[in-house]
Amino acid sequence: MTAPRIPAPRAPLPDHRALTGLRRITPTDGLAGPFRALAVVRLGPGERAELAADGVEHAVYVSAGSGRAATGDVRVPLRPGHALTLPPGSAAALTAGRAGLEYVHAELAVPASGEE
């Protein structure tokens, strides 16, 4: 039995570089669903950003540069195309490499216990 053939996308995939002109979008800008904020973040060489998922989730997509994410004893390299999610109750520090780090950061609301 052969694997099913997955059709090619009908439209070109979005180019992440189109997002680099954005700064920050908030729910009042017309977003629906669990989004609280969406931003493009640029860290200079060696700069660090702390993310804590207290009552929210974080999703990060690296669009340029390099760096690393650290939580506890775990260190993960970050390069363009890498994605990172932080579920509620977790935290991580993102540190830019020599060329800096640029990423798209989405903050998502988490329903209170018992809500759907």
Domain that holds residue 93: 16-109
Is residue 41 pLDDT above 80, yes or no?
yes
Structural domains in the chain (count): 1
Q: Is residue 8 part of a domain?
A: no
Query: What does the mean pLDDT of the chain come to?
Result: 79
Per-residue model confidence (pLDDT) at position 108: 86
What number is the average pLDDT over the span 92-111?
92
Helix (H) or strand (E) holding 71: strand 56-71
Q: Is residue 7 part of a domain?
A: no
pLDDT per residue as tens digits for the range 51-71: 998 888 999 999 999 999 999
Identify the DSSP state of 106. Answer: E
pLDDT band at 21 (very low <50, low <70, confident <90, very high): low
Q: Is residue 2 part of a domain?
A: no
Q: Is residue 71 part of a domain?
A: yes
CATH classification at residue 50: 2.60.120.10
Helix (H) or strand (E) holding 23: none
Q: Is residue 54 part of a domain?
A: yes
